[in-house]
Structure 1
Amino acid sequence: MRVGIVILPEHPWPVARRHWLRAEELGFHHAWTYDHLSWRSLRDAPWFGAVPLLAAVAAVTTRVRLGPLVATPNFRHPVVLAKELMTLDHIADGRIVAGLGAGAAGSDARALGAPPLSPARRAARFEEFVSLTDRLLSQDRTDHEGHVYTARGARTVPGCVQRPRVPLAIAATGPRGMRLAGRYGQSWVTHGTDTGPGELPEADVLPLLARQSALFREACAQVGRAPAEVDRMVLGSRLVPGLTDSVDRLLGFAGECAALGFTDLVLHRPRPSGVFAGDATAFEEVVAAALPHIERLKPPGGPRRGGENG
């Protein structure tokens, strides 16, 4: 099992640089940041843009894989996003993973003045968003006339370092999005539910993940793809507060997730207070001790195809 970290884009660059370099030093396989204009309880706090931040991180790191978790159609257009992802992949020398999600009906969805969308319309928009992003990243020129997006002679030259394109990590909690992950994704990503971080009772977390894992296997079968060909990523510390309070607690949860077929566990770097609050020094000590053991965990049936996530 691989382990990743989310570092929120809230720090001035001199501080952020230290956090990202430390993540690479600790041995995290992949490192992510949220791609929002603002976010939940931190909406009025400092919050920086994901793409320029990832460009800076790509320029100072050498090994860890990087990406947005997740870019959404709430304020991203596939033509522009594809160009940015291609550029990031060149700066990072082939270490970018594109996390994509449908986008929630929050402040990001309202920021550009768009009318509210029903869940069904958001899902339909996401299907077009993913399929068009896939095409744009995979070919030099793209023309598209869709229900939501238009691309006329859009160029993505010279293309990504990774071929045929950067890998896609597609977030989904329901069957429709899971089918997209099965069709286009190198990874399926779940944060459990649309509730806020830590709001789901802990006793409900593993049963929910078991149900979602079963749904994902069904979704892969429906699109004609073997489930073992797609990595499965869970945002663990978004679901379970205090997950890194001890080595045993972290190893226990990681083992349960591996048994359910998950290949990747993602943790959030602790903040001094509020959401994801915790002690950063203690977090690093637990991660350093647990990481070698987690890396030996394998989903049922042995190792997957994987590797795109680090």
Structure 2
Amino acid sequence: MRLSTVILPIRRWNEGGKQVWQRAEELGFHTAYTYDHLSWRVPFREGPWFGALPTLTAAASATQRVRLGTLVTSPNFRHPVTLAKELISLDDISDGRVTLGIGAGSAGGFDATALAPEGTAPWTPRERADRFAEFLGLLDRLLTEDAVSYEGDFWSAGDVRNIPGCVQRPRLPFSVAATGPRGLKLAARYGQAWVTTGDPKLYENGTPDESLAAIRGQVTKLGTACEAVGRDVGELGKTLLTGFTPDRPLESLDAFVDFAGRHAELGFDELVLHWPVEDTQFAADEKVFEQIASEGLAQLG
């Protein structure tokens, strides 16, 4: 089991932002991720919110060991060609410490229509799935081939050069966020890991046992998707982004150990905790958070 954190990009770099990323490394987190949005839900929508890739580039220069990544990037406002160039550069700057968390994105309004004319409706679920499939396939090629030409339904690449490619070979790893059948097949085909937040319908009114059962069902469906593409589901890492289930793993060290153990039994090998943010859904006692970071995994035995 690995323990990682996600640091929201809400702090000015020279007013505490840099220190948070360095502290994440000091605490021994495996990976420090950040959200890749243009803005996010209330209360964050009305406050500071910085770009993911510049933030990760700064973090790469301020740290030495901790892995870095997005959780998650989506086609909402990204283009595969420019994203690939930026990722190759970030992978080089960090000396191969980057993981790309990537998903289809949501229609929730945070950035789903940010690049569209006012009044444009968000993509339908089918349109979003179609775009994600093409986006992921093209990005995979752009990160593994020196030259790519492509003409698709949604994106194009005209003799795009990406030399020297990633430090990590054949490319930096993808952690694919998915729960539906099409997304799970993409995770099975392209992912080095799979990401879930659990079942969002259970967040407010469900129970931990109901959440565990729902996640168990997702893991089963992932196995089916892997079988369909001829892949062993055991080869795929399994990541749970916490904070969106009825559980409260940051209440105490014991609560975390119980939570981690229950999900380890389902095959998860990475848990991601939100770095505490006061007066939000991610509020937590920082001393307990640091105790969990330092001692939590050792308590699993």
Shift of 1:21: 0.7
Pick closer, same or farther for the CA change 1:19–1:195 going to 2, 3 Å.
farther
* Count, aligned residues: 294
Shift of 1:240: 4.2
**Residue 110, structure 1, aligned to residue 113, structure 2:** yes
Give me the whole-angstrom Cα distance separating, in 2, the residues matched to 1:29 and 1:200.
32
Partner of 1:302: none
Partner of 2:183: 177
Partner of 1:301: none
**Secondary structure of residue in 2 paired with 1:183:** helix
Match of 1:53 among 52, 55, 58: 55
**Residue 166, structure 1, aligned to residue 167, structure 2:** no
Partner of 1:19: 20
Give me the whole-angstrom Cα distance separating, in 1, the residues matched to 2:110 and 2:8.
17
Give me the whole-angstrom Cα distance separating, in 1, the residues matched to 2:127 and 2:97.
33
Residues 30-69 of structure 1 mapped to structure 2, 5 A cutoff: 30-41=31-42, 42-69=44-71
Deviations 1:94-129 (A, max 9, x none): 000011110101230111116421101100100001
Give me the whole-angstrom Cα distance separating, in 2, the residues matched to 1:157 and 1:195.
44
**Residue 148, structure 1, aligned to residue 142, structure 2:** no
**Residue 235, structure 1, aligned to residue 238, structure 2:** no
Structure 2 unmatched runs, 5+: none
Worse-matched range after superposition: 12-21 or 285-294: 285-294
Preserved contact between residue 239 and residue 270 of structure 2 (Cα < 8 Å): yes
Give me the whole-angstrom Cα distance separating, in 2, the residues matched to 1:238 and 1:90.
33
Partner of 1:7: 7
**Secondary structure of residue in 2 paired with 1:58:** helix
Shift of 1:287: 2.4
TM-score, length basis structure 1: 0.91
**Secondary structure of residue in 1 paired with 2:57:** helix
Residues 174-253 of structure 1 mapped to structure 2, 5 A cutoff: 174-194=180-200, 198-199=203-204, 201-203=206-208, 204-240=210-246, 242-253=248-259
Structure 1 unmatched runs, 5+: 297-310
Partner of 1:90: 92
RMSD, matched Cα: 1.5
TM-score, length basis structure 2: 0.94
Give me the whole-angstrom Cα distance separating, in 2, the residues matched to 1:239 and 1:62.
32
Preserved contact between residue 199 and residue 215 of structure 2 (Cα < 8 Å): no
**Secondary structure of residue in 2 paired with 1:109:** coil
Shift of 1:279: 1.9
Partner of 2:283: 277
Preserved contact between residue 137 and residue 159 of structure 1 (Cα < 8 Å): yes
Q: In the alignment, residue 5 of structure 2 is paired with which amino acid? A: I
**Secondary structure of residue in 2 paired with 1:160:** coil
Match of 2:77 among 46, 70, 75: 75
Match of 2:125 among 119, 127, 152: 119
Residues 129-148 of structure 1 mapped to structure 2, 5 A cutoff: 129-148=135-154
